[in-house]
Amino acid sequence: MTTCFGDGVIQDIDLAATEGPLPKFRIATPTGASFTVARGEYGYEMEALTPIDAEIFEVPPGSEDEFVATARDADAVYAKGRRITKRMIDGIERCKIIALGSVGVDSVDVDAATEKGIPVTNCPDTFIDEVADHAMTLILASFRRLIVQDKLVRDGRWAEGRPMLSKIPRLMGLTLGLVSFGHVARAVAARAKPFGLHIIAYDPFIEELVMIGHGVEPVSLPELLQRSDIISMHAPATESANRLLREEHFRQMKKTALYISTGRGPTTDEAALIKALDEGWIAGAGLDVLEQEPPGGNNPLLRMNNVILTAHVASASARFDPARRRRVGLELSLVLGGKWPMSCVNPSVLAKTDLRRWQPVSMERGPNS
């Protein structure tokens, strides 16, 4: 077993041979990469955990039952590197919190955690600006056909660039449609306004007055699909949003429309998107997320010159890893210290715990933020 002590460095230990008192709290985490964390150190997380006498120990790869055998008595689970299933959650007997260092929580069976009264936390507001910047980058690059324009120059086809763009209207005055209106979509709206875009949004979970307050027009999904020149998908990977946009939705879009997605791959029916691009129902796409990541070599999107692809990197920046890992450490320390977490995606469990409420809970936190 490998354990992280207060200095944040992972060490191999033999618990039976360890002298002195064990830490007050023990946090289980799967061995394996979670963006940039992989069997190295947990210094950022330990900033908040060392003062409460907690340690992080890694659970080697294996079956669900093997995970349970190692983590059964853990006080918390730091979820990364693998899916945390109902079988695993049912088997951990003392767990008080399951913490994730991401916005999405689809790698944890939240329903199973809720049944067992375990809060699940995420990081809904630590890298919003990075994702919004990336979405705006894909919007602008797709609209101005940037990748194709670059290739024309490199291929010695300089004279073809201007005629191509001469067929495209200017960006000012066009309509940007946002599917879902959480934190990222709002940040995208703020970035898009100076370009002169009219912004509309669909989100059945957000009050219309919230959208209006951001200078965004609330509309139904069919109206958004029919009116938008650019559609930007921001829905979370929830059951209700799984394949939210399908073939019938792409058929409603303008033939000149661009589709942008920086949220989660499963919110889009990828086969329908490929068909829409291949048959000219829409003009192009800019995608940071796919249904299968990384994509298989036979994915048609890889061969389409009207598609810009990035490798699920929208949230990446120098700030990203330290910020989210410190947030994980904070959430773990709050709950293990007897307090409500900051961002709980299943808040109904909190009132049934012995945890103390220490701050107002924003209604905008959670899986749709």
Burial 343-362 (b: 16+ CB within 10 A, else e): bbbbbebbeeeebeeeeeee
Position 22, amino acid: L
Pairing of strands 54-59, 2-4: antiparallel
Whether 45 sits among the annotated catalytic residues: the reply is no
Whether 246 sits among the annotated catalytic residues: the reply is no
Burial 91-103 (b: 16+ CB within 10 A, else e): bbeebbbbbbbbb
Catalytic: which of 93, 248, 279, 293?
Answer: 293
- Respond yes or no on whether the N-terminal peptide bond of residue 294 is cis (omega within 30° of 0): yes
CB-based burial of residue 149 (10 Å sphere; 0-12 exposed, 13-18 middle, 19+ buried)? middle
Residue matched to tokens 């009264």: 117
Provide the 10 A C-beta neighbour count for residue 207: 12
Please state the length of the chain. Answer: 369
Rounded (10°) CA dihedral 288, 306, 270, 101: 0
Whether 208 sits among the annotated catalytic residues: the reply is no
Pairing of strands 175-179, 120-121: unpaired
Count each helix (H run) and each strand (E run) in the chain, helices first.
13, 14
**Helix, strand or coil, per DSSP, at residue 336:** helix
Measured between alpha carbons, how far is 168 from 226 in angstroms, rounded to an integer?
Answer: 18
Both tokens of 116, joined, read 């067992």
Catalytic: which of 87, 191, 251, 312?
Answer: 312
Catalytic: which of 234, 264, 326, 327?
Answer: 264
Single out the residue of 92, 87, 83 nearest to residue 34, CA to CA.
Answer: 83
Contacts of 338 (CB under 8 A, 6+ apart): 354, 355, 356
Provide the 10 A C-beta neighbour count for residue 255: 9
Single out the residue of 204, 201, 225, 205 nearest to residue 215, CA to CA.
Answer: 201
Q: Are the CB atoms for 240 and 180 separated by under 8 Å? A: no
Which DSSP symbol is given to 20? Answer: S
Residues annotated catalytic, as ranges = 264, 293, 312
